[in-house]
C-alpha cells in the first residue's frame, strides 16, 4: 500500500492516524483499534466493515 495514502487516511470512527499492517488498515488509537480490510488494493474505510 502506498505510504503517501496511509499518511492522509484517518480512522472514520475516532479520527486517529492509521497504519498498514498484515494487509489491513489499523487504527493507531489503542482505545479504538479497528482493523479495516483492503480489497483489491483499495482500503475499505467503513466502520461496519471493520473488525476489532
| Domains of the chain from N-terminus onward | 3-49 (2.20.25.10)
The sign of the torsion formed by the CA atoms of 29, 10, 4, 26 equals: positive
d(CA 40, CA 32): 25
Task: Tell me the three cell numbers of residue 48.
Answer: 461496519
pLDDT value of position 18:
98
Chain center to CA of 16: 10
The rounded distance, in Å, linking the Cα atoms of 33 and 41 is 21
- Tell me the per-residue pLDDT of 1-52, one tens digit each, with 9 for 90 and over: 788 999 999 999 999 999 999 999 999 999 999 999 999 999 999 999 999 9
Amino acid at each position: 500500500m502506498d505510504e503517501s495514502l496511509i499518511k492522509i487516511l484517518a480512522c472514520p470512527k475516532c479520527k486517529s492516524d492509521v497504519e498498514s499492517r498484515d494487509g489491513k488498515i489499523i487504527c493507531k488509537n489503542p482505545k479504538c483499534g479497528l482493523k479495516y480490510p483492503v480489497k483489491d488494493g483499495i482500503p475499505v474505510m467503513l466502520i461496519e466493515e471493520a473488525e476489532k
